[in-house]
Structure formats: C-alpha cells, structure tokens
Copies of this chain bind each other. A is one copy, B any other.
Amino acid sequence: MLSVLLVFQFLHRLCGALVYFPSQYVEQVELEKYDGVEAGKYTLGLGQKQMGFCSAHEDINSLCLTVVQRLVERSRLSWDSIGRLEVGTETIIDKSKAVKTVLMQLFQDSGNTDVEGIDTTNACYGGTASLFNSVDWVESSSWDGRYAMVVCGDIAVYATGNARPTGGAGAVAMLVGPEAPLVLERGVRGTHMEHVYDFYKPDLASEYPMVDGKLSIQCYFRALDQCYSVYRKKIQSQWQKVGVDKPFTLEDFQFMIFHTPFCKLVQKSVGRMMLNDFLAAPNPDTQSGLYKGLQAFRGVKLEDTYSDKDVEKAFQKASLEMFSQKTKPSLLLSSRNGNMYTPSMYGCLASLLAQYSAQQLAGSRIGAFSYGSGLAASLFSMRVSQDAAPGSPLDKLVSSLSDLQTRLDARKRVPPEEFAEIMKQREESHHLVNHTPQGSKDDLFPGTWYLERVDDKHRRQYARRQLYQIKV
C-alpha cells in the first residue's frame, strides 16, 4: 500500500481502529536538494519532514475501496449494518459518477443496497461536510438504527515548483453512531464560507490545482478568526444559560487540531487563536502570564494582521508551550506524509489518539478547525468519553492506533528522482483509456485495492491484493 490509509471510529460498540501507512515516501530534505532550493525551505519553512505519494495504479476509488473494506473487516461489521455512506473528496475522476457508487461493489454480496449518501465536494472540507451530514442523520427521524460511515480521501499532487512539496495522499473512514467514545459537541459549530479563488481546479483535464499561496494563507487565517469567533459566541451563550459567565479561550481546549496544508501554518494558527483570545479579553494581563509583553499589540485589528510578521512572531512565541501541549502531537502524520486534503484533519485526530493514553484523553475537549479553499471552514469540538478503563471503547480505539509511529518508520524511502518520475507517469497516464497503469501490486500492503485496467469506454476495473498470505 503506497499511501496512508487511516481507519478509526467514533463508536463505542466497535473495537477495531486501524491505520495504513505509506510504504513509499520522499524525504523533504532530499527534495530541497533535488529542487535546488535553499536548505530548510521545506523542512523548516514548511515544517515538513517527508511526503507520501501514490503510483499510477492508485486512484481515489482504490483508496476508498481499501479503507472502507478494511474498516468493515477489522470491526467485524456486517455490510448490512451500514445505513449511510458518504464520501468527501476533491479528487474528481468523473464529473457525474460518485465514488460512493463504486464502493457499493463491496456491499454486493450482502444484498444491502439501501445505503444513503453520495459524494460531497469543496476542496479539503468534504470530510467535515460528510461528518456533519452523518451526525445530523443519526439525530434525525431518518436514522434507521444503522451506522453511518464517513469516508474521505484525496491524492494531493502539484505541478513542479513551489507547491509540489506540499502534496500527500490518503484516505480515512469513520463510523458514526450513538454513544460513541468521541462525541461532537452540540450547537457550537462555527462556520465561515465565502467566495474566493485561493486554490481551485478549473483545468479539468489536469490533476493539478491553481494556487495563490499567499492569498490562501490569508483566507485560512481569516476563516480561523471568523469560525473561532462564532464558536466562542455559541459556546459562551450555552455557558451563560447554565450560569457560567466567562470568556472561552484556547485554555478550554485540551487539544486543538487543524486542517494541515503544512505544519508550520498550524503552529502559526495556534498563535493566531491566542491573538484572538488576547484581543477579545476585556483586560488582559500583559505584565505576567500568557500575554506578558504583548501590550504593544493591544490595538491591532485582526483583519490587518494576516501577513504582519511582528504579530505572527510575537504570538507564535507566546503560544509555544500551548502549541507543544495541545497541537504538536497531532502533526505526526501530517509532517511525515504531507497534506492528504479532505482526510488531513482526521489524520491529525488519529495522530493525537495514537500518542496519548486513554487516561490522558478521557474527558478532554478536542477543538477541530477544518478548512477547504474556495472557501468553506468550520471550527467544532469533540468530547472524549470519561470511561478510560482497560477494555473500554476509548481504550480499544487508542490502542489500535498506537503503532502509528512504528509503521511510519517502516516505510520505503524513494529518492526524489524516482518520485519525480512517478509524478510524470501519473501526469501522462491518469486520463488514458484502454490502459493498464504502471505500478507493482507487490508494493502495496496486503488488502489494498488498486486500479487494474481502464477500458476503451473509460470504465475502471479494480483488484485487491490478498489480505493475508496463505501459508502452506
């Protein structure tokens, strides 16, 4: 398996939770040399260590087939028990036929075809839209007692140049149902949507996007400001109803995860949230504590500071400990696999769960900022269940993700020359008909689906690498 596939669940009744790691990645430090850029540009400037990528015989359908089947197998679910399945993706290989319909192949033997949900798209936001839709479904009269599965996946590739080191690939599948070890907090989602051309894919014949990097970072910060502001307003209003009258701040999130285009942006975002807290505080103490020495920034306006290096630096420094405590552990997968687009933030969640014990996580509030260019963004929060006893659903979830780092270490490093060659293969072949894509199935992890053939009518046939080797 050449790309990261994550599977975990929001449901207490399942013990399974699994993560696939890429067997194939490129080192960012080697990519810096190969690209002839200054040392540290990708590693320090972007905060990226490695980048996973797919060969030509993987596409969005194969990624999602793998992650859905593995989740069902590992959780020992029956295919009948799923009443809804929705896919969030921006890797569009057909303008009409949804990835969801391709996944229905997996349900065929069960005879279960009564499975609501199709595909949903806006840049990296599709996974979050699917999650919200699924959670709403479970709470509505439409819910028939079965699980909702949320799938998100993408192959993030860029033309040669500045943006190429910010690629990645992967897929995540999640199960949603009642009484879960992770629960979305109700009535506090803060959403911000606006019309902007920061990152988009208008050249339908190309796998590559158009990117205005500087604008996109501004948009990301503006959306973060706006979503955080709405979130705080909503949660403070809930608090007031039960007699609690205090401002909500970053301190109230035990953990904070972000959509991660590159890790450095996330570190800056923690600083940005502190800036929001600071400006919203009626009388912040600038003599001691968190805000010490920040008096000079008391008068700034959020909208003037998107590219203000002084503000950025000061709040990044002031929030350094918060970043280390609340966010840094969530960047494990992002730093070593890159930007998976729709699954990015859910990969951060998996990284977080992988690096703490159930006891450490129990009862905590995890803040989550999801961003999709164009743009659609939401800040929401999850509560981790209190029950962290051995054998509890939370304990099982956490245990099943604990080998993340070991598996990342076990991947195959590919030199930049070979990576560039594989990117070129994708470029030249992704649209071909009557074609068998390049790529060895032996490079794939057991149980991985791959694209076997595209026939003369563009119909795609998939095969699966055997899950277990039969020993004689």
Contact = CB atoms under 8 A, between A and B. Distances in A.
Interface stretch (A4-12, A285-293, A355-363, A371-379): A371-379
A94 interface: yes
Contact of A93 (B202, B376, B458, B459): B202
Contacts of A136: 133, 136-137, 139-140, 142
A108 B194 CA distance: 8
B95 A193 contact: no
Nearest to A137: B136
A303 interface: no
Given A92-B204, A141-B186, A458-B202, A194 B117 contact: no
A376 B114 contact: no
A305 interface: no
Contacts of A108: 194-195
Contacts of A195: 101-105, 108
B374 A115 contact: no
A119 interface: yes
Interface in A256-297: none
Residue from the set A92, A118, A135 with the largest chain B CB neighbour count within 10 Å: A118
A102 to B, nearest CB: 5
Contact of A96 (B102, B137, B190, B209): B209
Contacts of A132: 116, 142
B459 A197 contact: yes
Give the number of copies in the complex.
Answer: 2
Nearest to A222: B113
Given A105-B195, A113-B226, A191-B116, A121 B141 contact: no
Contacts of A105: 195
A63 to B, nearest CB: 16
Nearest to A121: B119
A118 B126 contact: yes
Binding site secondary structure of chain A: loop
A187 B144 contact: yes
A465 to B, nearest CB: 20
A385 B327 CA distance: 52
A171 to B, nearest CB: 17
A233 B145 CA distance: 16
A85 B133 CA distance: 13
26 contacts: A90-B96, A92-B95, A93-B202, A93-B204, A94-B200, A96-B201, A97-B123, A97-B197, A97-B201, A100-B376, A101-B193, A101-B196, A105-B195, A108-B195, A113-B193, A114-B190, A114-B191, A115-B191, A116-B191, A118-B121, A118-B122, A135-B140, A136-B137, A142-B189, A197-B457, A204-B205
A386 to B, nearest CB: 20
Contact of A100 (B193, B226, B230): B193
A453 to B, nearest CB: 13
B114 A230 contact: yes
Given A136-B136, A374-B96, A376-B118, A192 B113 contact: yes
Closest 8 CB pairs of A and B: A202-B458, A98-B122, A95-B201, A139-B140, A118-B122, A204-B204, A97-B374, A136-B140
